[in-house]
Amino acid sequence: MRSVTILGATGSIGTSTLDLIERAPDRFRVEALTAHSDVAGLAAAARRTGARIAVIGDAARLPALREALAGSDTEAAGGAEAIVEAAARGADWTMAAIVGLAGLRPVMAALAAGATVALANKEALVSAGEIMIAAARDAGARLLPVDSEHNAVFQCYEPDPARIARIILTASGGPFRRASLEEMRGVTPAQAVKHPNWSMGAKISVDSATMMNKGLELIEAFHLFPVGADRLDVLVHPQSVVHSMVEYVDGSTLAQLGTPDMRTPIAHTLAWPQRMETPSARLDLAAIGRLEFEAADEVRFPALRLARAALRAGGARPAVLNAANESAVAAFLAGRIGFLDIAAIVEEVLAHYEPDAPTCLADVLAIDAEARLHAERRMERVTA
């Protein structure tokens, strides 16, 4: 049996992973499950799977978790350090699905344990790409991409960059693909989190609406697939059937297609190098009838332009971009700033905060903290 740890077990990716594992109980043994604050969801998942340990990030909720697990064989723990310790327990396969840079230290701990890490936390790789890739290499760990776009590339990718002309990440365009800037000015959080194709958490849904998500994915792809920034491209594909493509120098283009269900890429990493059956709906191209593609509009969606610039600049720029965006998205969801303010605040922070390139995990965390302070100061001006 393969031992499994799920970091972020009660979120969208975590629950999809649990669904697959619980369908194949003879193949997987759950080592650890973590969640930020959902005690009931975490305890229920731990009881169903017989997890050895369950960790709640909010330490104040540890007594409630212990009570919810009373009578079971699952150990309970709480706090950020306990999550890092859970990640370091050495499971054969770890799902890294904690949203935001909060997932960076647990991911690094899982990589240091030297096993397979299925990465659904793009913010960690965006902010600490070179450091993470080096940590995986030094520990002999395997990093497998879970994001549907990067997993699609992984399935089509021949590991010889000289053969590859382009990697093309597809984007749905989000809920405001056809909206004008004036229309987007009045967008509410409730409207922004209604993705047309995918069921996702609030933060990633807003990132998809601004297209920052695709910008972050460009940076992520840069670290996962060493073809260089100039051979990474984005194509809007509103049906979300073609998840990404790899174009080769001979003119061939390979694409991975499927219905928009995250259980497909999760299962690919969970069973890799084999494959496993999933309950995902099968693709019916005749019923779909047509597939549409269009260029991304970086005027109406400046977040994509900002991410491209951060990727080309390198150094600390991606970490600053990510931190400012996380802060701005949180403020938007809280009703403090408008939808168009998100990219504007990120651009201002990038213009005024230029730290040296990080060389270690501590540097990344320090840059992140300082960039959030810069973002907060600019948001105070917006709301003044």
Residues annotated as binding site for 1-deoxy-D-xylulose 5-phosphate? 122, 148-149, 172, 195, 208, 213-214, 217
Known binding residues for Mn(2+): 147, 149, 217
121 is written with which tokens?
């936390």
Cβ–Cβ under 8 Å, residues 368 and 321: no
Known binding residues for NADPH: 10-13, 121, 123, 201
Helix (H) or strand (E) holding 104: helix 104-112
Report the DSSP pairing between strands 142-145 and 232-236. unpaired
91 is written with which tokens?
């499971």
Distance CA 104, CA 101 (A): 5
End-to-end, the C-alpha distance of the chain in Å comes to 57
Fill in the DSSP letter of residue 277: -
Who's near 318: CB < 8 A, 6+ residues apart? 126, 127, 129, 219, 307, 310, 311
Beta strands in the chain (DSSP E): 2-7, 28-35, 53-56, 75-78, 93-96, 116-119, 142-145, 164-171, 232-236, 242-248, 253-257, 294-295
In whole angstroms, how far apart are CA 31 and each of 27, 54, 91, 144? 13, 9, 6, 19
Distance CA 106, CA 258 (A): 30
Known binding residues: 10-13, 121-123, 147-149, 172, 195, 201, 208, 213-214, 217
Distance CA 202, CA 206 (A): 6
Type of residue numbered 272: W
Who's near 193: CB < 8 A, 6+ residues apart? 202, 205, 206, 209
